[in-house]
Amino acid sequence: MMEGQISFIEELLDSEVVEMKKDVDIDVDYISGSKAMQMLDVSRHAFEKLVKDGFLVAREAEGKKSYKMTDIKEFMQTEKYQELVNVYEALGATTKRLEKTEILSDFLKTVDAEDLEKISCFMASKGTTSWLCSVLTDTQEQTEWCIEQFKAHKVMEQNGAELAGIHLEGPFLAPEYKGAMPEHLLKKNDIPLVKRYQELAEGNIRYITISPELEGVQDMIPTLKELGIVVGIGHSGATYDEAMSAIAQGATVGTHVGNAMRLFHQHEPAIFGAVMESDVYCETICDGRHLVPGSVRMYAKCKGLDRIVAITDSIMAAGLPDGNYHLGVNDVVVIDGDAKLASNGTRAGSTLTQDVALKNMLKWLPNTLEEILPTLTENPAKEMGLFDRKGSIETGKDADLVLLDEQANIVHVFARGKQVK
């Protein structure tokens, strides 16, 4: 979904709406922002987001901003505007938060694959040249809809970061470590379902997170690998022996290690201890919330930087202001950039971007930039089986390049040889 549409709809849930007035002079060439808000029937904050996200362009003269009447008229005739109006009318007809959430959920299902391109361009601006979209545990219908949107995006002209595959975060996850996953949709094992998803995705499900202690789940691992899917363990209360058995079966990744998993105890090292001891990749969310600096240093020392993969685990709120958002079927509240479930305060993904992750690692670790960079480049490419064309600068590989200044600020970004920033 486009960032502008996301933020605009979020505003419809909570903002006071400017009443439509009938006395707007539609014969003038330019009108003020307040008149434009009256025509569009939106709140001030929502209007400002429309301008910020490029739906409307302001002209400034003598210190005042105005808006071209023809632009507003054209926008009001677009399908997107009509969709937003319909959603607003439905939201305005109820005061119940649950009903509003259901209305918003139905609207999200109508958003086309073009919106993934906006996300890809945003990610490229933050230094990411390839990414996986995580599909959270959901109904089969909604999961298949997400896969269809991925496929539609793949055949479009892409001008941002490459959407390199799908990460299924579930549904084979432990209820007690479900995090933001809806418990009633979790499953123990179902290889036919995964085969169906992979066939529908035309082989583009690249990664799945499972809980190895669940009945029958470890037996799935060899088949998952045959399907071309990298297996990660996480959202799990697995014992040390259960986790090590899964690794022996072919699991190669610890999913966002230290979060949504059973932690180390001297009498039961658990899944955390198995990840630390073994050679699996250790995914690390370097936002200072999911992991504090000391934890990141410990991971790096225990695993070695060659087994650390710096991830964002970002949700739709990344790059957007604090406020109310959604993660799957859940309401999420973001305060000071920290995303938590509105229902119980459980942390629900992050708002981290990779440029910030890199700077955090440079501050927290004693290593040089050259030593840290593979955690964001070479290691994730190897983790996901993409190192034949991603992760390093070599002849024949994709020309994915990020140019930094001496303070590690992003200067230019190239994705597949095309400059995107």
Unique residue bearing structure tokens 């996850």 = 173
For the chain, the farthest-separated pair of C-alpha atoms sits apart, in whole angstroms, at 78
- Among candidate residues 115, 287, 313, 398, the one labeled active-site is 313
Cβ neighbours of residue 99 closer than 8 Å, sequence gap 6 or more:
none
DSSP assignment of 273-307 equals HHHHHSSSEEEEE-SSSSS-HHHHHHHHHHH-GGG
Edge-to-edge strands, sheet with 130-136:
130-136, 162-169, 205-210, 230-233, 253-254, 281-285, 308-311
DSSP assignment of 341-398 equals ETTT--B--B---HHHHHHHHHHHSSS-HHHHGGGTTHHHHHHTT-TTTSSS--TTS-
Rounded to 5 degrees, φ, ψ at 157 are -65, 130
Closest CA to 208 of 132, 272, 145: 132
Q: Give catalytic status of residue 138 as yes or no.
A: no
Q: In 72-215, at which residue ranges do the beta strands (DSSP E only) sit?
A: 130-136, 162-169, 205-210
**Residues 337, 352: Cα–Cα separation, whole Å:** 8
List the Cα angle 130/132/133 in 5-degree steps.
130
Q: What is the DSSP letter of 185?
A: G
Cis peptide bond prior to 293, omega within 30° of 0: no
Q: Based on the number of CB atoms within 10 Å of its own CB, is 45 exposed (0-12), middle (13-18) or buried (19 or more)? A: middle
Active-site residue list: 313
